[in-house]
Amino acid sequence: MTVANIAAASGEDVVPFDVTRAHKPVFLALVEARARYGRARPAIVDGDERVLTYDEIIRASLALGHALKKGTRPGESVGVMLPTGAGAVVAFFAISAYGRVPAMLNFTAGAAGIRAALRTAQIKRIVTAHKFIELAKLQPLVDALKDDVQFVYLEDVREKLSPLDKAFAIAGQFLPRLVVAQPAHDTPAVILFTSGTEGDPKGVALSHRNLLANVEQVRAHIAIYPTDVLFNPLPTFHCFGLTVGALMPLYLGIKAVFHPTPLQPHEIVRRIKATGATILLSTDTFISQYARAGEQGDLNSLRLAVCGAERLRDETRQLFRRKYSIELLEGYGVTEASPVVAANQPGANRPGTVGHIMHGMDYRLDPVEGIPNAGRLVIRGPNVMLGYIKADNPGVIVPPADGWYDTGDVVSVDQDGFISIKGRLKRFAKIGGETVSLAVVENCASALWPDHCHAAVAVPNGRKGEQIVLVTTNPEASRHDLIGWAHNHGVPELAVPRRIVHADAIPVLGTGKTNYKEVELLAREDARAAQAV
């Protein structure tokens, strides 16, 4: 079935969805945006406040891309290891302009994680920058990987641009179609990697059509105005940060302000105020920090604050409403869908849900034993990936069967089409024959101790199959208090964790999501320590 979008009913000016606008390569879509919005229009504000116009982005991409293509072949994956900023965007388009495929690498994944990504996507070269490696203190990572891959530094390439590289940049400024590659819209445009929240990362191949269709879906879902300024602190190795945070503003003619890391709340609040940003992209983990870092009035310029990648807690929503009079919009996406699948809208914002599904998408709910009135969400649409690239079959894209992608998320859909995420199928525990959502466990802890962070995992229990362990930053957290809260709020005692582990911080991935593999290690270490006593 397809759920009708109700953006028009909310009074927003939206552009009707037209998937044919996505039938082009991503670089030529940038060239068309320049023609539409103006060569000299400021498009990017970098982390050092440097402003780049459309002309400057295209010229830099053409020159850099011509230099970078040497030693590579069309269709080859080229790694990009850069923070959010103009350098990452230019590298993305430089690689794409000449028919290569950028592969966005998560530099927080460690040497083993990156090495696995290199093998999976058959990456022989990584584009990075000396300044980034120095500031991020990543030299040990580079040293660990230098025998596996060639590192190419942007500063070195710029210094050694040949007259031919510069000539291609000049010619491409005026006659881009004579200079750049023109791959089919249904061929790979980028390789991203799953977060590895619960398992080994996989390569996700997204086509030019996938990326551009998702931009069009967002434009048809939420009104975007020429006067908007989008603030993006999310990494470009994260699909939300890449598609919505970096590509969408360029294609829709709105200025994008980049910040190299989401981990500087005071500086981010200052820059939002200074740049007059009207749209903020974030996750619950990060935006709750921004809310606490700012003073009343600091975020008054924002008209939209959109959260994805993880559940938006009621406590975060209430804090923003109370302190800044801003209604947060929660959305839902997966890398495999480029990424946006659903989102709430101004005038159609229902807390506790992720809103309506995007235009052009179909979905079905497959039944899940033990979970009534909900199902496993399976999706299809123009934004759904070409397929996975797995470690056991490097470089080979395996498409989803008949175009349907199983998200692994259990959801319900109400009569108005609002989607509620119950949790990942892997995030349910079997306790004494009953199915318990670990998300519910975390919700209970967040409601009782809103000023702390919490993560719940299920670990083996010989007698009852599994037991739930809550890892929390609240040093005073007790099971007794949780039992009392559960009784008073009608929550079954099965949803009360069997054990509580105290930690200084909840492990997170570079995307801001909880790192459940690390949380489970904490839980298991605590269990071993308890047994040793």
One domain, residues 363 and 454: no
Q: At what angle do helices 54-68 and 86-97 cross, to 10 degrees?
A: 60
Position 350 in a domain:
yes
Nearest to 216 by CA among 1, 23, 418: 23
One domain, residues 342 and 474: no
Position 499 in a domain:
yes
One domain, residues 391 and 446: no
pLDDT band at 503 (very low <50, low <70, confident <90, very high): confident
Distance (Å, rounded) from C-alpha 227 to C-alpha 211? Answer: 23
Residue 309 confidence (pLDDT) = 79
Residue 197 confidence (pLDDT) = 52
One domain, residues 81 and 207: yes
Look up residue 292 and give its two tokens: 């606490």
Q: At what angle do helices 479-488 and 438-448 cross, to 10 degrees?
A: 100
Nearest to 118 by CA among 20, 53, 201, 188: 201
Cβ atoms of 196 and 509 closer than 8 Å: yes
Question: Is the model more confident about 95 or about 368?
Answer: 95
Q: Which of 413, 442, 476 is the last residue of a domain?
A: 413
Q: CA of 406: how far to CAs of 196, 497, 514, in Å? A: 16, 29, 21
pLDDT band at 11 (very low <50, low <70, confident <90, very high): very low
Residue 531 confidence (pLDDT) = 64
Read off the pLDDT of residues 244-291 as tens digits, 9 standing for 90 and up: 999 999 999 999 999 999 989 999 999 999 999 999 999 888 888 898
CATH number at residue 511: 3.30.300.30
Cβ atoms of 229 and 427 closer than 8 Å: no
Q: At 530, phi and psi to the nearest 5? A: -65, -40
In the chain, the largest separation of any two C-alpha atoms, in whole Å, equals: 74
Position 12 pLDDT exceeds 90: no
Residue 200 confidence (pLDDT) = 63
Angle at Cα 497 formed by Cα 432 and Cα 317, nearest 5°?
125
One domain, residues 437 and 386: no
Residue 476 confidence (pLDDT) = 84
Cβ atoms of 312 and 285 closer than 8 Å: no
Residue 72 confidence (pLDDT) = 92
Q: Strands of 51-53's sheet, edge to edge?
A: 51-53, 42-45, 255-258, 229-232, 279-282, 304-307, 329-333, 340-343, 356-357
Residue 3 confidence (pLDDT) = 39
Position 427 in a domain:
no
CATH number at residue 65: 3.40.50.12780
Cβ atoms of 480 and 505 closer than 8 Å: no
Position 97 in a domain:
yes
Give percent of the chain with pLDDT exceeding 90: 56
Residue 297 confidence (pLDDT) = 84
Taken as a whole, the chain contains a residue count of: 533
Position 2 pLDDT exceeds 60: no
Residue 453 confidence (pLDDT) = 86
Cβ atoms of 402 and 392 closer than 8 Å: no
pLDDT band at 510 (very low <50, low <70, confident <90, very high): low
Read off the pLDDT of residues 310-354 as tens digits, 9 standing for 90 and up: 888 888 888 888 888 888 999 999 999 999 999 999 989 999 899
Position 18 in a domain:
no
Read off the pLDDT of residues 113-161 as tens digits, 9 standing for 90 and up: 899 999 999 999 999 999 999 999 999 999 999 999 999 999 999 999 8
Read off the pLDDT of residues 385-421 as tens digits, 9 standing for 90 and up: 999 999 889 999 999 999 999 998 999 999 999 999 9
Position 434 pLDDT exceeds 80: no
DSSP 354: -
Position 37 in a domain:
yes
Residue 463 confidence (pLDDT) = 61
Residue 508 confidence (pLDDT) = 79
Domain tally, the chain: 2
Position 433 pLDDT exceeds 80: no
Nearest to 213 by CA among 248, 241, 264: 248
Q: Which of 413, 447, 464 is the last residue of a domain?
A: 413
Position 14 in a domain:
no
Read off the pLDDT of residues 98-115 as tens digits, 9 standing for 90 and up: 999 999 999 988 898 899
68-77, 230-239, 449-458: lowest mean pLDDT where?
A: 449-458
Q: Which of 413, 447, 482 is the last residue of a domain?
A: 413
Query: Any bridge partners for residue 102, and if so which?
Result: 78
One domain, residues 137 and 170: yes
Residue range of the domain that includes 524: 432-532
Read off the pLDDT of residues 437-486 as tens digits, 9 standing for 90 and up: 787 888 888 888 888 889 888 887 766 577 888 899 988 888 888 888 88
Cβ atoms of 345 and 328 closer than 8 Å: no
One domain, residues 55 and 167: yes
One domain, residues 476 and 379: no
Look up residue 27 and give its two tokens: 């670089």
Cβ atoms of 467 and 496 closer than 8 Å: no
One domain, residues 136 and 96: yes
Coil, helix or strand for 389? strand
One domain, residues 400 and 438: no
Position 17 in a domain:
no
Read off the pLDDT of residues 175-200 as tens digits, 9 standing for 90 and up: 888 888 899 999 999 999 986 555 56
Please state the pTM of the whole predicted model: 0.85
One domain, residues 269 and 170: yes
Give percent of the chain with pLDDT exceeding 70: 93
One domain, residues 404 and 477: no
